[in-house]
Each structure stands twice: as C-alpha cells, then as structure tokens.
Structure 1
C-alpha cells in the first residue's frame, strides 16, 4: 500500500498560536493542538498577500485560529490578551511548579493530564474485569471517618457536618450488604498541612474494598495486581505522553516486579521512620530493582480505629502501605468486622458512637472478613512520571 501524498490535499485545523517569526515577506507559525504542534508558513505569493503575512505575524500568542487549506485563510476564533501573565516559554521551564491556566495549555501539562485520565480508565477497566462493582459515596458526613482531627467542618443547617476524609465506612457497609468487591473514584478532603511536595487538602481517591476467604493478603495481592495492570497499560498506551513529559522532566523509566515485592517491617523500624530517622532501607530496596513495593504490619497505634489488630501481636496490625519510588501512594488494612471489637476501638479513639451507629450496626447481621485501601490519583501520576511536586499533577491545586 503506497503512502498517501498529504501535500496534495487541503486541510482545515483549529489551533492555538504558540509562537510566530516574521523574516522578510513570510511568517512562520507554530500551531498547537493539545500536546501536538505543527508549523505553518504564510508567504507572500499567489495565496497570501503582504497584509495576510502582517496579520498573521501580529495575532496575539495563545489566540485560537482556524487555518484553512494550505494556509490560505486565517480566522481569529478567540483573541488572547496582548500581554500574557506568563509566557508559554516560561511556563514549561522545569523550575516553574505552581499551576496556572497558561501551564495547562503546554504540551507537557496536556500529556500529564491525559495520562492521569488513563490511570482512572485503567483502574476502572481492570476492577470491572475482576468483578468489582463501582459505587458512589457521600462526601458530607456526620462524623470524622478516620477518627482524627484533620477534617473540614461545614455548617449543615443547624448542625455541624464534615467533608469526608475517605469513603471508608460506606465501602465497608457495602461489603456487609454482600456486594463482595467494590471500588469508587471521587474527591477526598484532608484538613492538614499541604505545604509539602506530596500533600493536597483535596485530591482524587481511588478506593477499593473486598471480602476475602482465608487471609487479608488475598486483598493485598489483588490491589497490587491492579496497580501493576495500570502500570502496564500506561507503558503500552501512553508512550507519546510519557515521552512528552520526559523531554521537560527527564527521569528513569518506572520499574516493577511480578509478583509485587512485599516486605514486613517491625514496629521499631516503623516508629523510627515516623520520627524521621534514616535507616538506609532505600539502599537495601535498590537490590530488588523495583520502584513499587508493599510494606506490611504497621503499628496499630498509628492506624485508624477500624483497623484489625494482628492476632499474633496486638501492638501490630493487619495493615499495609504501597510505595512508588520510595513514597506512599496507598494506605490499607484488614477492617474489624466484629461489632464489639469495633465499638471498643472507636471508644479508644474518642469517637462518638452515636454518630457512627449505622456503621457499627451494619456489622451486627453478619459481616465477612474484608480489607481494602485508598490510592491518591495525583500522587500516583507524579511518581509514575518521576515528577517532584504533586501540584504538577493536580488540575486545580
């Protein structure tokens, strides 16, 4: 099959003007449509007058134009301000990390958020293929879902309500209602210091919950496999986007193992990490040649009230975190499914039982052993691409 001769065809495109140069009686235009650029030439001749060349050279950058045929006609569809607050050349500099409208228009940002959309699609596709049911959960709730103080309080008529820290309680109630395996994608709110490279007060959570038969590691393996399928899908379907981002922010390709590496950390090491003491574990992890791994058996004291204690050591818990490039992207655990133990743990955390009565009651009519976890979408995007600030992967940080 012969290659078509596109030069003989006429085309019309709608795009933004990224830059212009006017050497003599011609004008070069760099036109951008999402993450792709094309160069056009307007030259004085049979198809363009001097006025056309001058007109093209003086259209404001970031204006949206229609280009018809072989650059015969240019229509300004949406005129940009003559002086932009931040030029596109400045917006794509690696040291510029704060998000703004101009940054969203760069090829790099287009690639980042198209890949992020792919993560959501692959997450949903993989779990539906595994038999999971997608659910939607309330975001205005009557009690702090994690039992902590880091919640946003909102006025709810004559009472106080809270923005959900996670869909945790509702996921579990669905498991108790015999849904067996559920997931949801939605906003999560955390009233905590977000002045770091990896924290946001509002982010998108990818949450999973499922019943298991014998051991909570069945769930750990299911979640880890889901993430591996996402990594594979990104590498197979989004190479153009990955390469576009790497041109501006070079990094090593993301590496992972099958099956996923799972390590058990003792209580002392976990507590030293919480205190910020370096133990040299990252050097040890390099021996495994993977950017994705699971840490298991965290201290019970640092986990939410609904976390199942380790039956072999009550100071530990059946909980786990998952990491990409050394940073946490998922926190999860086996949940307490016994209402008496759940009540005791809620009281231990100072939670008003009346406000979570419906949650506790859902376990009184038979609840299977179950576990799950919550993934931060923006953090996964950041770490997969090797970026250094989660605000680069938040559309509106």
Structure 2
C-alpha cells in the first residue's frame, strides 16, 4: 500500500498565517512611516529658520549667568512703544493654534492683558507657531515682539488698541497641567457670604462653573492670580499706606508693640495660649495696654499696624482669628470728641484717596460683585448718632430691643440702611455706648452712669472700629476693673504693670482700633472677609 502524501494545511492554519503576514506588513509599514516622519522632522528641524527663537530656557540659576543687557518693558507702557520691538515677561492666559501658520496667545502681566500673534513667514517657522500655540496655561514666558496698533478693538484683552507680533518666545517656567483651579474661574464672584463648596458644581448662565471659597483657599496661589484678587490686595496695601500717611502728617509716631504676652490681658478671655520655652504665653488680642502705657510715657500720639489674635469661635463672613489692626491713640485737650474728629477725618481721607489713587482697582472688583458706590459725607458732617438715638430709629423700624442692649449683626445692618436713607452716607459713628458692653478701661459717661464715652464707626452698616476715651486715673481704673462683669484683678500678672503706669500722672487720651480686612471688605462690598486675607485664619482653617 502506497504511503499517503503530506496533509494539506487546515483552513485555520492558513487563516492564522495570513494574519501573521498582515500583522508583519502593518508593523513594517508603521516603522517605515515612523522613520519617514522622523527623517522629515529632522529635515524640518535642520531647515527651521526659528530654531533659536523659541523653546524652553534652562532653569534660572542652573547655568552660568550671561547678561543680555536688554531692558524689560512693562505692558502698562505699551503705547509708548508702537512699531518698536520690546522684551517682556508675562504668563499665558490661553494659547491656541488657529492654523498651521497662525497661533494666538493671550498674555498677562499684573492687571494688564494683551493679545499676541505668532504668524509663519520666511523668518518664522511653522514649528514655532505649533510650539507657541500649545504652551500650557499659566506658564511664565519671555517674549520679544513688535508692538502694533490694531484696526479693531480687541475685546478679549484689557489692552484693546495694541497687540504683540511675536518674534521670539521662550518658556521660563512651564505650568503643569491639569491645574486644580482655573484662574478664569477665580475671576467670577463667589456665592454671597458663602463659606463652603456647596456651589462648586453650579454654573453661571448654565456654562461657567462657580468655584466655592474653600476650593479657592485650598489652592490659594492660583486663586490669588485672579485680577480681582490682585486688585483687592493692592487696595489693602493702599489703606495701610494712607493710614500711615495721614496720621504721620498729624504728628503720630509709628510703634511696634509685643504680640507675645506673659499673661492674658483684657480679662483673659478669647486668647490663644502658646508654649514659650518652659512656660505658657499668650498671643495679643490688641495693642491696647501698650498704646496707653506709651501715652503715659509722654508719647502724645501713636499708631500701629500689626497682627491681632482673637480666639473667638466665630464662623461668620466678617470674622477672622488673625487679622490686621490699624490702631491709634492720642492725648486730647478737652473732650474725647477731638479723637473722634481725628478718626473721622482719617477715614474720609482714606476713602477720598481710594477713590482717586486706587479707582482702577476699586472699579474692577466692584464690577465683578456689582456693588454700589460707597456714599460719603462731607468733612465735618459725618453723622454722630447717639446710641440711644440709634435704638430709637431701630424701634421705629420694628426692631425690639432694650435701651442698653448690644446690637446684633442684623440690627447693625438694619441701622446702616436707615442711616443711609436718612443721612445719605455709608459711613457714620455711633456714640455713647452702654458701659456694661464696653471694656473695663472705658470712661463712664457724665450724662448717664449706664453709658460711656465710647464709639463705634460703621461702613455699610457694619462695624469697622471700636474706640473710646480711656480711664487715665489709676484709682478709677482699679475700681472699674473690680466692678466689671466678670471682675478683673488690677494686681494680676497681665494687668499690674498697666495699672501701675497711670499712678505717675497720665493725660486724658482716647483712640481706637480698626480691622483692616473689614475696611477693605466693606469698601469693595465683598461677601466674605476671607477674600481680604492672603492666607486667612479662622476657627477651622490653619492651612495653607
């Protein structure tokens, strides 16, 4: 019987072989394409006319420094450089490739934004166009570009009449993506008096997200890049400068008092205890004792700008556990209203100069929060409303409260609306507060033993300053401390030196302490005081 011939390959085997062959052919084709693309890129790179005009710079400080001697320009002065090439640092708000030969960038420097164009030409390559249009948002770059006047206004930039035609572009610091917070989202308003992130998923007009305050504060370095935030802190700096400018002209001396105390003062409540080597210490609630001790030391007028610490578990839209105090104390000649007049003129000066020197920043922030202009009285015409008159106004408006009750926050706001309606001003003073609700060092009123020579100042119906005539006689001070509720020991560790300072003769004096953050908050009409603190501290937040 003859042997059988070799078995024919099965259909499955043939199919498998065909697939293997097809796979090998595809792999070879892919390799060929990859090689061709690499060769093309190498050829393009070799022919890239812009190869030295773009790219990432080495980390500053990591290579030997070689000065370029090229001045860097500010976008604020762009109109002075029309048809000239300038060099400037900025960061990328956004970048997009329009086509293989055209890319647009929106660049920012401070509060200024400008449109930049990267257009391919005989001297600028398509590779540079592609590189420029793909730079990540928030990257820091150095630009060499020609300033050109535009035919039509550019609505997407704050600089509307000029644009930059980029000639060179280098990345100095590349931003990692994705960002935890988009800066453009931080430009939008937070929910009114919002404290949390309950509105993070909400949208504005059904499109743009509204980011909650906690998310912003948790990513504060990005949040602070928002133009509105930059403007807030320019204004805050301005208030400090104006405070010092006005009082310096009035003969006040800038002082710095201790913020670490050996014993709790002012009654000992609401203070933070810290470890000081082998013993406890306390963070200062205010510079009050030291201001008065300096008046007793023959310093006639003193002022201070410094941190204040309050251990109050107040989770509200206007309270912080650490804030900046603007404090002043001064002798007066005959009546404590001399001090009130000084404080009124100080605030009117600050308001007036904010309206002129910081109008751009003020208008920017108010445009986001749609706040009405702050209404001011004339100098010498600031309403000084007796506390009893304020109580009467509130009662007539339907509020129920006793003659000597303290005002709640809603009642303060209500009174602010009534004052605005009656006097046409957002700034006013309440005078002669009930003695029982003021500190023990407050001078009792000669008009009514249940009232005091004390006052608060208000903006938009909310308190910004508490002040008074201080007791400058050691015996009366001793008596008031013992009668206070709760009593304060004049021989206590935190009060003994303070009381002692008045035994050697001290002139009549008074003063007050402003909360800087509140001034900024109410001037701009912001919904939350945390927006006016770079890295706010409250009962919950200790980071970043």
TM above 0.5: yes
- CA drift of 1:276 comes to 6.0
The TM-score with structure 2 as length reference comes to 0.70
The corresponding residue for 1:250 is 370
The corresponding residue for 1:261 is 383
User: What is the SS of the residue equivalent to 1:317?
Assistant: coil
User: What is the SS of the residue equivalent to 2:248?
Assistant: helix
- CA drift of 1:378 comes to 0.7
Q: 1:18 aligns with which of 85, 90, 93?
A: 93
C-alpha distance in structure 2 between counterparts of 1:106 and 1:279, whole Å: 30
C-alpha distance in structure 2 between counterparts of 1:342 and 1:73, whole Å: 72
Does structure 2 retain, via aligned residues, the 8 Å contact 1:193–1:199?
A: no
Does structure 2 retain, via aligned residues, the 8 Å contact 1:245–1:385?
A: yes
Q: 2:430 aligns with which of 287, 290, 295?
A: 295
Structure 1's 372 and 230: CA in aligned 2 closer, same or farther, altered over 3 A?
same
Is 1:231 equivalent to 2:351 in the alignment?
Answer: yes
Does structure 1 retain, via aligned residues, the 8 Å contact 2:95–2:136?
A: no
- CA drift of 1:125 comes to 0.4
Q: What is the number of equivalent residue pairs in this alignment?
A: 395
The corresponding residue for 1:162 is 282
Range 51-60 or range 209-218, more displaced: 51-60
State the Cα deviation string for residues 89-127 of structure 1 (Å, max 9, x = none).
Answer: 211121243432212101111111001111000000000
- CA drift of 1:312 comes to 2.2
Does structure 1 retain, via aligned residues, the 8 Å contact 2:416–2:460?
A: no
- CA drift of 1:292 comes to 0.3
State the Cα deviation string for residues 268-289 of structure 1 (Å, max 9, x = none).
Answer: 3551624966895344312211
Structure 1's 278 and 50: CA in aligned 2 closer, same or farther, altered over 3 A?
closer
The corresponding residue for 1:128 is 248
User: What is the SS of the residue equivalent to 2:281?
Assistant: strand
Structure 1's 55 and 303: CA in aligned 2 closer, same or farther, altered over 3 A?
same
State the Cα deviation string for residues 302-359 of structure 1 (Å, max 9, x = none).
Answer: 1111111112212111111000000000011111111012122223343342312111
Show structure 1 runs of 5+ residues with no match: none
User: What is the SS of the residue equivalent to 1:41?
Assistant: strand
The corresponding residue for 1:62 is 138
C-alpha distance in structure 1 between counterparts of 2:168 and 2:520, whole Å: 40
Structure 1's 361 and 241: CA in aligned 2 closer, same or farther, altered over 3 A?
same
User: What is the SS of the residue equivalent to 2:405?
Assistant: helix
- CA drift of 1:155 comes to 1.4
| Structure with larger RCO (C-alpha < 8 A, sep 6+) | 1
- CA drift of 1:46 comes to 3.5
The corresponding residue for 1:97 is 213
C-alpha distance in structure 1 between counterparts of 2:406 and 2:498, whole Å: 34
Larger radius of gyration: 2
Show structure 2 runs of 5+ residues with no match: 1-77, 147-165, 191-211, 392-401, 537-544
C-alpha distance in structure 2 between counterparts of 1:247 and 1:11, whole Å: 32
Does structure 2 retain, via aligned residues, the 8 Å contact 1:210–1:371?
A: yes
Structure 1's 361 and 46: CA in aligned 2 closer, same or farther, altered over 3 A?
farther
Structure 1's 281 and 354: CA in aligned 2 closer, same or farther, altered over 3 A?
closer
User: What is the SS of the residue equivalent to 1:175?
Assistant: helix
Comparing both structures, which one devotes a greater share of its residues to strand?
1
- CA drift of 1:262 comes to 0.8
- CA drift of 1:184 comes to 0.2
Does structure 2 retain, via aligned residues, the 8 Å contact 1:145–1:166?
A: no
The corresponding residue for 2:333 is 213
Structure 1's 391 and 177: CA in aligned 2 closer, same or farther, altered over 3 A?
same
C-alpha distance in structure 2 between counterparts of 1:364 and 1:75, whole Å: 69
User: What is the SS of the residue equivalent to 1:182?
Assistant: strand
The corresponding residue for 2:62 is none
The corresponding residue for 2:108 is 32
Does structure 2 retain, via aligned residues, the 8 Å contact 1:145–1:168?
A: no
Q: 1:198 aligns with which of 301, 315, 318?
A: 318
User: What is the SS of the residue equivalent to 1:29?
Assistant: strand
Q: 2:257 aligns with which of 124, 128, 137?
A: 137
The corresponding residue for 2:46 is none
